[in-house]
Structure 1
Amino acid sequence: MNNQQFSIIDRIRSFKYAFNGLKLFFINDHNGRVHLFAALAAIALSFYLKISRIEWIAVLSVISMVFVAEIINSSIEKLADVVSPDYHPKIKVVKDLAAAAVLVAAILAAAVGAIVFIPKLFL
């Protein structure tokens, strides 16, 4: 057990690592930039269509879920590349599973987007 004293300053400093991770994600990850563009488009459309609070919650929730899934996927891929730089069938399974998590999140985001935006755009 760690007996180190709790420190607000240390907790605040730890945010720097998280923000650096976001910066690295958007700078270095092509899919991160694609998701960022899609998120900004969805947010702009949400403002334009004046969606309800509940719709905002749904849209922002799925946007966040896609980002979280993609960040975890990218982390797993980078770690797997360090652990096994050469092709390994078990590493491939791990990478495929992480990519599947992003796919599930993106499908849900598209479904929520369709439910929220299609009636306002076309009906």
Structure 2
Amino acid sequence: MSDFNRWQSFRCALSGIAHVLRTQRNAQIEGVIAILVIAAGLWLRVTRTEWLLLALTIGIVLAAEMMNTAVEHAVDIATHEYNPLARIAKDAAAASVLTAIIMSVIIGILIFGPRLWALLP
């Protein structure tokens, strides 16, 4: 692959990220939550390993949201009429985002919970 093609692929990927963040309300909410998690991590001085876990969970949630958007658009291109298989595809894609979010919340509680508990009077 030439350098031009690599850069073109990179630009296409960035365009996809921008599209999702611009058009998908859930991705915007997840982005704000990611910023808040990063701020909380700085404030509560999480360890390097905890940063790794937080970065992975943020990345997985955002990647799942982008894949969900891709599946939704692909299904919409394939059919504009109701189709039970199209619904299953969309529901399964949405379920992947929900699963990632649930795991992220659990990891967030395990990382931030004890620190926040220690701050209580």
TM-score (norm 2): 0.94
1:63-95 residue CA offsets vs partner (Å, 9 max, x unmatched):
000001110011000110111112111100111
Instruction: Name the residue aligned to 1:26.
Output: 21
Match of 1:112 among 79, 93, 107: 107
Runs of at least 4 residues off by over 4 Å? none
Amino acid at match of 1:59: L
Q: Which moved further from structure 2: 8-17 or 59-68?
A: 8-17
Report the residue type matching 1:54 in the other structure.
T
Aligned to 1:7: 2
The correspondence for 1:53, drawn from 48, 53, 56, is 48
Name 2:78's counterpart in structure 1.
83
Provide the secondary structure at the position in 2 that maps to 1:87.
Answer: coil
Alignment of 1:57-68 (within 5 A): 57-68=52-63
- Separation in 2 of the partners of 1:26 and 1:44? 20
Per the alignment, residue 68 of structure 2 pairs with: 73
Q: List gaps (5 residues or longer) in structure 2.
A: none
Within 1, Cα distance between the matches of 2:8 and 2:85? 37
Superposition CA RMSD, Å: 0.8
- Distance in 2 of aligned mates of 1:63 and 1:34: 12
Q: Distance in 2 between matches of 1:96 and 1:22?
A: 21
Aligned counterparts of 1:8 and 1:89: Cα–Cα separation in 2 = 43
Q: Tell me the distance in 2 between the aligned counterparts of 1:74 and 1:55.
A: 29
Q: Alpha-carbon deviation of 1:8?
A: 1.8
